[in-house]
Structure 1
Amino acid sequence: MGAAAALAFGASVGAPIRPAFAEAPSSVSVAPMGPASFADVVDHVKGAVVAIKVKGFEESQNPFEGQGELSPDDPMYKFFKRFGETPQKRMTQSQGSGFIISPDGYVVTNNHVVEHANEVEVALEDGRTLTAKVIGTDKRTDLALLKVNDGNKLPHVEWASAQPRVGDWVIAVGNPFGLGGSVTAGIVSARGRDIGAGPYDDFLQIDAPVNRGNSGGPAFDTRGNVVGVNTAIYSPSGGSVGIGFAIPAEVAKDVVAALKDKGAVSRGWIGVKIQQVTPEIAESLGLKSSKGALIAQPQKGAPADAAGLKAGDVITAVNGEKIETPRELARKIAAMGPNKSIDLTFVRNGSEKSAKLTLGKLPEEREARADDEDTGATGHASVASLGVEVAPASEVRGAGGEGLYVTDIDPNGAAAQKGLRRGDVIVEVGGQAVNSRADLSNAIDGARKEGRRSVLLRVKSADGAKFIAVPVRQSAG
């Protein structure tokens, strides 16, 4: 997660804009767009937007910090080299933004704003500064909940009840570069953005200018309701280039409610590593589409394992709701929380099956996550042209007793282009266990005779198990 800030989305402006068709379908009239001014909205919400001031300490390993650059010939070099090698703690100060969500002083901001804080202060719009207590944080969504005590009812804002549409107005209020309350406006540019910040990415993208210091601040719709929490920006220079990201209100309000109730977020967990179903993998498994989440490796003893799910199964629905991608499955399972009974629909060997299981609790720093690794370019392969050398894993110390250990690989070969690496262990090919080069050859020949364009390898690597679809060269004639 970058230290820069982001923006969110806005709700619809007045009545929804719908095309009104005249007799000729090509004639479209559109309702007037946007208010003449955002001033009334800003006057309504600005008292609830706060600046977050953070003090903390970090260790410095630089023995010459604060001394400038010293040459080894400098008389002081040896002195600092001798006595300055131990880590030194130095005080740090940073700033961000936040917003009050209740009259008794609960404040929402980003986790990365307060993550290393020893002291947190909240500066109000009226000029007062209050000491804040960190109630709870959630690294996975980068949210934090603070509490200030004022003795009076504080101005506050509400979460939006409806999701904004792409093209809706959005207003950002925050503390960019420590300047204090600043307002910018724009539109929702996109929804559902995955920026690689975490396993549950579902960001709004907005073009309202946001900068460093806006992190944790609110993005409002034109009714003054919070539609997102500013979190990140995309910027080569560190300043706004019109691409900001915000945590949607529908995600943030549930996380904040959990932090207020328990100080932490408990997420559901089934205990599998999942990956994207590429078109090649879909073809190799005989699937009609590439939708769903492929189980690369179930964890022994986890809920999915106990329910009988296996590597190679493709999860297509949860409680009857279709699953399009691995990330969608991860988010849905996490949001349900532990101890919930669910029905999973999955495909195994071309047949649709179902299983009932009870969700566990996601362990700390572990994700039931999607593996979005790129599977590489397309090509044609046979055993001779895979570009790999293999040996039985049982003959390679530390490689285990099953499968084929990849002893060497051509970086330009089909297998390497698909993600296979030296040191990987090929466990299955086309659903068949392989323990010799002959097994590998027979499995690929079998896939070719069946008319398949690709064959599916199940591979164990340092990162865990995964599937790789390798194209198969068809016989001529």
Structure 2
Amino acid sequence: MTDRPDLSTLPSYKAPKRSLFSARKLALMASVVAGLGAATYGFSPSHNPADLFTTPAHAQVNNEVKKVQQPVGFADIVERVKPSVISVKVNIREKVAKDDSNNDDSPFQPGSPMERFFRRFGGPDGLPPGLRGGPRGGGVVTGQGSGFFISADGFAVTNNHVVDGADKVEVTTDDGKTYSAKVIGTDPRTDLALIKVEGGSNFQFAKLSDSKPRIGDWVLAVGNPFGLGGTVTAGIVSASGRDIGNGPYDDFIQIDAPVNKGNSGGPAFDVSGEVMGVNTAIYSPSGGSVGIAFSIPAQTVKSVVAQLKDKGAVSRGWIGVQIQPVTSDIADSLGMKKAEGALVAEPQANGPAAKAGIESGDVITSVNGEPVKDARELARTIGGLAPGNAVKLNVLHKGQDKTVNLTLGQLPNNLEAKADTDKSDKGNSSRGTDVPKLGLTVAPANSVAGAGKEGVVVTEVDPKSAAAERGFKEGDVILEVAGKSVGTAGEVRDAITAARNDSKNSVLMRVKSGGSSRFVAVPLAKG
């Protein structure tokens, strides 16, 4: 129990006279209090409790607040854009299986267009239901995807992997009508395709956005998931500039609007009703939506579709270099303050870059005055320019900045370097000489059959060394160390010593592996 203050001791205090309340008065007060409680908590449906405490003006303000707080839906936007979205159905005649255990002619071989189609928007193991283990016999395989009109006369956009290899393409519009369509052109590198609907006109179409979406913007995905027809899902832009290993021009918008099998090729709309991207891939361990989908940006779609409509194919600029990212270790070994730009691993013979004097080890830092952030950005920038255009490249060459002017060539259809089939014959060489600071054992390349005449071949790699961590393996050929050509283990040691004397934390090596070369920055051991 706590002590109460004695108010009678205060100078200004006067004790009140004791008053008595009758039981009738107390009962009346109790009924009033109870009545207020009932008015607050037990009102009848015919009375608004706010009327007991607010004036009509306050009530009007409260109603306005309620109107503002109501969630805004997407119904008006959907009603406007949904008729521009189509369902795409394709028939692909499968080849007859020669051997159930090894069907080389199957269209579902790993890496094939159909296998990619069903892995992205089909079965989790890359095959449609009923074809697990490979197609059995001849027949027709049916696939489904989405698309959208971009003009009133029936031109529509979808994914390349939806229509690639199709013998027959049909589209179904939002009002349930079905039309035949033909493929105008495809671009596998961006996974885009342009088709033309036959037998119709005055189609409602969508506009490709001119602005770049911001992370956090609303997005609506409309398509044909699981063959259900026009379906709308909503979400936000989760990220931009995503590289998912699909190709050298990856620059995807990541969205969390649910995208499932059959949404491939469908549009992702912004709240203005314009197409911000074309849905092309999902990350899905289970085959269903987990809230990670990828869309091709509208700017890329515009550029590709314009060429497909004009020529049926896409021509890209080409400078003829094999490039790789500039890592922090590589930047340190080259004396660069920031790990930016694209490192030239090897210029291709007779390519525009080689003719202009660009060499291995050069770092391309800008194109036409625009900085190059990394190797992917260089590939996208050059690929977005037309062959024959003159470009100005800023290049870091042996520590010095220089400007190179060249004319773009046309990107060849196939730039895949074939692996060197020659194998190192270690029986024709001794174990080689150790480079203990790196964990490598090397021998002159000209002393090992099949290793070539230049550089030193790696004959042994310490599995616990920094070189092993950087991917060195037996048979690799080291061509240069710290910018100097090497042909013996002694020259390798000398180059390493010079780099250490220059206070470098790592040494840059140009390494040939198979039919291609790359630069590797290997940390230098102290001492």
TM-score over 0.5 (shorter chain): yes
1:383–1:444 Cα contact (<8 Å) kept = no
Q: How many residues align?
A: 412
Q: Is 1:402 the counterpart of 2:402 in the alignment?
A: no
Cα distance in 1, alignment partners of residues 481 and 141 from structure 2: 54
Match of 2:487 in 1: 435
For each residue in 1:306-361, what CA deviation from the matched residue of structure 2 results, as whole angstroms up to 9, or x when unmatched?
A: 00000000000001110010000000000012100000001012110011000000
Q: Is 1:444 the counterpart of 2:480 in the alignment?
A: no
- Paired amino acid for 1:383: V
Match of 1:175 among 194, 204, 224: 224
Q: Is 1:294 the counterpart of 2:343 in the alignment?
A: yes
Match of 1:304 in 2: 353
Cα distance in 2, alignment partners of residues 342 and 410 from structure 1: 45
Match of 2:270 in 1: 221
Match of 1:455 among 488, 507, 515: 507
5 Å-filtered alignment, 1:79-90, equals: 88-90=137-139
For each residue in 1:356-415, what CA deviation from the matched residue of structure 2 results, as whole angstroms up to 9, or x when unmatched?
A: 0000000003279xxxxxxxxxxxxx9313222211111111211110011121222211
Q: CA deviation at 1:247?
A: 0.3
- Paired amino acid for 2:392: D
5 Å-filtered alignment, 1:361-400, equals: 361-366=410-415, 383-400=435-452
Match of 2:177 among 123, 128, 137: 128
1:425–1:460 Cα contact (<8 Å) kept = yes
5 Å-filtered alignment, 1:10-159, equals: 36-61=72-97, 63=99, 88-159=137-208
Higher relative contact order (CA 8 A, sep 6+): 1
Q: Is 1:190 the counterpart of 2:239 in the alignment?
A: yes
For each residue in 1:201-245, what CA deviation from the matched residue of structure 2 results, as whole angstroms up to 9, or x when unmatched?
A: 010011111100000000111121111101111111110011111
- Paired amino acid for 1:343: K
Q: Is 1:334 the counterpart of 2:386 in the alignment?
A: no
1:59–1:87 Cα contact (<8 Å) kept = no
Unaligned runs of 5+ in 2: 1-67, 102-134, 418-433
* Percent of aligned positions that are identical: 56
- Structure-2 change in CA distance of 1:251 and 1:35 (3 Å): farther
Q: CA deviation at 1:110?
A: 0.3
- Paired amino acid for 2:512: K
Cα distance in 2, alignment partners of residues 57 and 64 from structure 1: 18
1:220–1:228 Cα contact (<8 Å) kept = yes
Q: Is 1:279 the counterpart of 2:331 in the alignment?
A: no
> Structure 1 stretch 86-95 or stretch 167-176: which is displaced more?
86-95
Match of 1:344 in 2: 393
Cα distance in 2, alignment partners of residues 241 and 121 from structure 1: 29
- Paired amino acid for 1:473: A
SS at match of 1:254: helix
Q: CA deviation at 1:88?
A: 4.1
SS at match of 2:414: coil
1:451–1:474 Cα contact (<8 Å) kept = no
1:404–1:427 Cα contact (<8 Å) kept = yes
Cα distance in 1, alignment partners of residues 305 and 387 from structure 2: 18
2:154–2:201 Cα contact (<8 Å) kept = no
Cα distance in 1, alignment partners of residues 516 and 316 from structure 2: 22
Unaligned runs of 5+ in 1: 1-31, 66-85, 369-381
SS at match of 2:138: strand
For each residue in 1:115-153, what CA deviation from the matched residue of structure 2 results, as whole angstroms up to 9, or x when unmatched?
A: 121000011111111110000000000000000123431
Match of 1:472 in 2: 524
Cα distance in 2, alignment partners of residues 301 and 87 from structure 1: 48
Q: CA deviation at 1:448?
A: 1.2
Match of 1:258 among 307, 321, 343: 307
Match of 1:230 among 279, 291, 300: 279
Match of 1:353 in 2: 402
Structure with the larger strand share: 1
Q: Is 1:313 the counterpart of 2:365 in the alignment?
A: no
Cα distance in 1, alignment partners of residues 249 and 370 from structure 2: 18
SS at match of 1:113: helix
Cα distance in 1, alignment partners of residues 334 and 237 from structure 2: 39
Match of 1:376 in 2: none
> Structure 1 stretch 447-456 or stretch 98-107: which is displaced more?
447-456
Q: CA deviation at 1:87?
A: 8.6
- Structure-2 change in CA distance of 1:182 and 1:34 (3 Å): farther
2:243–2:251 Cα contact (<8 Å) kept = yes
For each residue in 1:135-180, what CA deviation from the matched residue of structure 2 results, as whole angstroms up to 9, or x when unmatched?
A: 0000000000000123431111111121111111111110000001
SS at match of 1:121: strand
Cα RMSD (Å) of the superposition? 2.0
Q: CA deviation at 1:34?
A: 10
4+ runs of 1 displaced by more than 6 Å? 32-35
2:435–2:441 Cα contact (<8 Å) kept = no
- Structure-2 change in CA distance of 1:283 and 1:220 (3 Å): same
SS at match of 1:122: strand
Q: CA deviation at 1:457?
A: 0.7
- Structure-2 change in CA distance of 1:63 and 1:445 (3 Å): closer
1:167–1:188 Cα contact (<8 Å) kept = yes
- Paired amino acid for 1:200: Y
- Structure-2 change in CA distance of 1:456 and 1:166 (3 Å): same
- Paired amino acid for 1:299: Q
Match of 2:465 in 1: 413
Cα distance in 2, alignment partners of residues 158 and 467 from structure 1: 44
For each residue in 1:286-318, what CA deviation from the matched residue of structure 2 results, as whole angstroms up to 9, or x when unmatched?
A: 112111100000001000000000000000000
